[in-house]
């Protein structure tokens, strides 16, 4: 029966059915065939989203959308250009650095890809860069958004796996900075080989002006991350504070109107409604998997092959990478995490370590065809075919896989800060 449910999910996904249908229909069929009252379904569905931590998702999503009305992207781009634009291939470095800063406010790879990409791809085209290179740098850098806190998918992972979201956020800091360094190294190699131009000479005066212009914007992640790290407020409260601060910024700069605020609240509510619909339906699937003892079966199969934490982590990540080519991050988390948590709990695998790696691997799936949300976004803003963008992104794709390998081999890159700040 379990095989029928799983097969039904993947067949419906392959047929491009809406995710909530692909997850819900096989579960309802299971209830029908087992003679279980359908009254169970709404109980499981409502119970899944009855978690206050999920309130952080609409708040961070709304804050990211409202940042566009503060001129945040342009101000961040200007600061990044003043800092690293003078290096050969400088606009490539600018794209990575701007994405890193923007990611600490949006928490969404799709928002980062479109928001930063709209400016960086245009600027790189005008300076004589290969358009596909410009798109590839922007696409790969957009993966930073769900790694550097705050991260929407880390919130969903933490709520699903019942692990500390604060620890996941802190655990993503050093990996995020490491990935920034590796992406910049690849930008440098490709820029040197292709002879891309340098920007304007470095000027402290220009850096100072850019810092002054963007100071209030870059304080947003300082408030969010600093408040969470110091324990002043929870991730859920941080989302509310982020929205309030961004609204104040928009009013201060005179760029946010009441009609804009209303439209963005409606748009964010629509997006969150679709997201939480998928999350709620997944609760019914989780109940079916638990009733059919899928977690125990999976744990038994894996532990019969190996008990080594590193190999178990690699096996989990390979499954996520494969699923990421066909599914968005949220359904992967909702389907896979309930099945693997008993396995993680019964072995020496650190849930924070594997959680951060899990989220990073989900993000890598966002840049791969055929279902890559960030890939489609960058292809749209760069006006290039999806295939061309992905092929140009391959050097950065392998750079991201190298980062995953380093994080697997050196778990302390993930676990050091959470252990330091929260204890073991």
CB burial class (10 A; 0-12, 13-18, 19+) of residue 152? buried
| 8 Å CB contact between 325 and 364 | no
Task: Give the pLDDT confidence score for residue 107 in this predicted structure.
Answer: 59
Residue 407 is predicted with a pLDDT of 93
Closest CA to 384 of 190, 143, 129, 131: 131
pLDDT in tens, 371-381: 566 677 677 77
- Distance, in Å, from the CA atom of 143 to the CA atom of 101, rounded to the nearest integer, reads 12
CA nearest neighbour of 356 among 333, 387, 328, 379: 333
pTM of the complete model beyond 0.95? no
Backbone angles phi, psi at 106, to 5 degrees: -95, -40
Supply the pLDDT for residue 370: 61
Predicted local distance difference test score (pLDDT) of residue 117? 66
Cβ burial 367-389 (10 Å sphere, 16+ → b, else e): bbeebbbbbbbbbebbebebeeb
> Are the C-beta atoms of 190 and 89 separated by less than 8 Å?
yes
Give me the numbers of helices (H) and strands (E) for the chain, helices first please: 21, 0
For residues 95 and 138, is the Cβ–Cβ distance under 8 A?
A: yes
In percent, the amount of the chain with pLDDT more than 70 equals 89
Measured CA to CA, the distance from residue 85 to residue 265 in angstroms comes to 35
Residue ranges of the alpha helices (H) in 306-350?
309-324, 329-346
367's CB contacts (< 8 A; 6+ apart) are 139, 140, 142, 143, 374, 375, 390, 393, 397
User: Which helix (H) or strand (E) segment is 385 a member of?
Assistant: none
Tens-digit pLDDT profile for residues 289-305: 777 776 666 666 666 67
Mean pLDDT of 171-194: 89
According to the per-residue pLDDT averaged within each range, which of 66-75, 161-170, 221-230 is highest? 161-170
For the stretch 62-115, pLDDT in tens is 877 777 677 777 787 788 878 877 787 777 888 888 778 777 666 566 666 666
Residue 278 pLDDT exceeds 70: yes
Mean pLDDT (whole number) for 336-344: 81
pLDDT, the chain, mean: 80
* The residue count for the chain: 424
User: What's the pLDDT score for residue 364?
Assistant: 83
According to DSSP, residue 130 is labeled -
Per-residue model confidence (pLDDT) at position 116? 67
Report which of residues 419 and 290 the model is more confident about.
Answer: 419
pLDDT at residue 254 above 70?
A: yes
**Residues 396, 69: Cα–Cα separation, whole Å:** 31
In tens, the pLDDT along 7-59 reads 787 778 777 777 778 878 888 888 888 888 888 888 888 877 776 667 777 88
d(CA 128, CA 264): 35
Coil, helix or strand at residue 172: coil
> What is the pLDDT, as a whole number, of residue 389?
82
Q: How far is the C-alpha of 44 from the C-alpha of 264, rounded, in Å? A: 30
**Is 118 or 270 the better-scoring residue by pLDDT?**
270
pLDDT at residue 332 in the model: 79
- Give domain limits for the chain: 39-422
């Amino acid at each position: 029966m379990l095989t029928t449910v799983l097969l039904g999910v993947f067949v419906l996904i392959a047929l491009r059915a809406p995710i909530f249908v692909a997850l819900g229909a096989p579960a309802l069929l299971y209830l029908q065939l087992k003679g279980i009252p359908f009254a169970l379904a709404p109980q499981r569905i409502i119970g899944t989203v009855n978690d206050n931590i999920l309130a952080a998702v609409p708040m961070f999503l709304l804050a990211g959308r409202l940042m566009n009305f503060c001129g945040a992207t342009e101000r961040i781009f200007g600061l990044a250009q003043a800092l690293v634009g003078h290096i050969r291939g400088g606009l490539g470095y600018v794209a990575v650095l701007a994405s890193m800063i923007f990611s600490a406010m949006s928490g969404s790879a799709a928002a980062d890809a479109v928001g930063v990409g709209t400016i960086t791809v245009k600027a790189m085209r005008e300076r004589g860069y290969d358009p596909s290179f410009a798109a590839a740098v922007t696409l790969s850098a957009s993966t930073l958004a769900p790694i550097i806190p705050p991260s929407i998918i880390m919130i969903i992972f933490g709520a699903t796996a019942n692990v500390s979201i604060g620890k996941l956020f802190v655990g993503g800091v050093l990996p995020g900075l490491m990935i920034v360094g590796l992406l910049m190294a690849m930008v440098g190699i490709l820029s040197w080989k292709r002879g891309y131009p340098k920007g304007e000479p470095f000027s402290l005066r220009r850096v100072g002006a850019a810092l002054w212009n963007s100071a209030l914007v870059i304080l947003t992640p300082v408030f969010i991350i600093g408040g969470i790290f110091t324990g002043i407020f929870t991730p859920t409260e941080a989302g509310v504070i982020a929205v309030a601060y961004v609204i104040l910024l928009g009013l201060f700069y005179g760029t946010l109107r009441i009609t804009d605020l209303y439209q963005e609240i409606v748009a964010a509510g629509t997006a969150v409604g679709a997201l939480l619909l998928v999350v709620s339906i997944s609760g019914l699937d989780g109940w079916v998997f638990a009733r059919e003892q899928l977690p125990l079966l999976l744990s038994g199969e894996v532990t019969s092959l190996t008990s080594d934490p590193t190999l178990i982590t690699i096996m989990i990540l390979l499954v996520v990478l494969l699923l990421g080519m066909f599914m968005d991050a949220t359904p992967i988390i909702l389907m896979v995490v309930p099945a693997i948590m008993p396995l993680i709990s019964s072995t020496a695998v650190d849930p924070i370590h594997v959680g951060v790696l899990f989220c990073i691997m989900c993000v890598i799936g966002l840049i791969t065809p055929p279902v890559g949300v960030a890939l489609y976004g960058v292809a749209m803003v760069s006006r290039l075919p999806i295939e061309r963008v992905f092929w140009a992104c391959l050097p950065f794709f392998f750079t991201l896989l190298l980062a995953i390998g380093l994080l697997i081999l050196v778990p302390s890159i993930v676990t050091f800060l959470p252990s330091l700040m929260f204890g073991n």
